[in-house]
Amino acid sequence: MQIGEFVREKVLAVQEYSLLSWMALTNVFRQPFYWADLYTQADLIGFGSVPIVILTGFFTGGVLALNSATTLAQFGAKAVTGELVSLSMIKELGPVLTGLMVSGRNASGMASELGSMQVTEQIDAMRALGVDPLKKLVTPRVLSTIVMLVFLTIISDSLGTMGGGWIASTMGIDASQYFHMAYQSLRFPDILEGLVKPLLFGFIIATVGCYFGMSTRGGTQGVGRSTTQAVVVSSVLIIFSDFLISRLTIDLFGR
């Protein structure tokens, strides 16, 4: 493949992805509203991801407290373990790890489901019947992922802080002091950053998964390829956008 053709394909892919994302958002304000699909996707994406989010958040907070307390003890600052765990979970690890877990679970699922519908011409049949596939298939997935990822992130943050408190209590740190430091250290910019990230991450996960599913070509082999690409691209975009949001928050609020 020549360089010019490669660049042309990538520019065209970005254009198609941007168009799909824009139409998915504008469809929110157009009838008909597929409430049943919205609730179904919310159940699959949100409640289906709760167990893995709980386990990931709890043990991440525990590992963070374990390593932090051990390092801070060398400087006589073991008491600030709660502050470090709280800020790290809410600002960074909670949203990012939750986004990556949901990306691996749901972006792949969206790509494979829509990809299978694409190669079996079910989406073409929907168009023939006068149903907008983007309105029916993409918009409910985008809205559900955005909303549910916020709640999943809150669960991950809470369980991570609790897991850190449990580990900290086993290392000689008073539990009340830990949670007091974890609460007192939080400021409005920290909460804002921790809630803005899952909004963007959810949008990325859903739109990338749907884009690769809707653009699947090449039969069952193409479905597998789209599934892999959806997970890789959404994970990379989550990490990249996390850096941008963190940089912007520091520039605006100084923390």
State the residue for tokens 């489901």: 113
Which pair of tokens denotes residue 110? 């969206």
Sign of the dihedral defined by the CA atoms of residues 179, 95, 231, 205, in that order: positive
Cα–Cα distance list, 182 to 71, 88, 124, 251, 254 (Å): 18, 10, 53, 23, 19
Q: Which of 106, 103, 111, 108 is nearest to 211 (CA)?
A: 111
pLDDT at 57: 93
Confidence band of 159 (pLDDT split at 50, 70, 90):
very high
Q: Are 22 and 207 in contact (CB under 8 A)?
A: no
Residue pLDDT, tens place only, 205-245: 999 999 998 888 877 788 888 899 999 999 999 999 999 99
Residue 88 pLDDT > 80, yes or no?
Answer: yes
Average pLDDT, the chain: 88
Could you tell me the residue ranges of all domains in the chain?
23-253
pLDDT at 94: 92
Confidence band of 76 (pLDDT split at 50, 70, 90):
confident
pLDDT at 33: 82
Residue pLDDT, tens place only, 174-215: 888 888 888 888 888 889 999 999 999 999 999 999 999 888
pLDDT above 90 covers a percentage of the chain that reads 38
Residue 68 pLDDT > 80, yes or no?
Answer: yes
Cα–Cα distance list, 108 to 139, 209, 227, 231 (Å): 17, 6, 5, 6
Confidence band of 253 (pLDDT split at 50, 70, 90):
confident
Residue pLDDT, tens place only, 112-147: 988 888 888 888 888 888 888 888 888 999 999 999
Residue pLDDT, tens place only, 2-43: 777 878 888 888 898 999 889 888 888 888 888 888 888 888
Q: Are 213 and 226 in contact (CB under 8 A)?
A: yes
DSSP the chain: --HHHHHHHHHHHHHHHHHHHHHHHHGGGSS---HHHHHHHHHHHTGGGHHHHHHHHHHHHHHHHHHHHHHHGGGT-GGGHHHHHHHHIIIIIHHHHHHHHHIIIIIHHHHHHHHHHHHTTHHHHHHHTT--HIIIIIHHHHHHHHHHHHHHHHHHHHHHHHHHHHHHHHTT--HHHHHHHHHHT--HHHHHHHHHHHHHHHHHHHHHHHHHHHT--SHHHHHHHHHHHHHHHHHHHHHHHHHHHHHHHHHHH--
Residue 1 pLDDT > 70, yes or no?
Answer: no
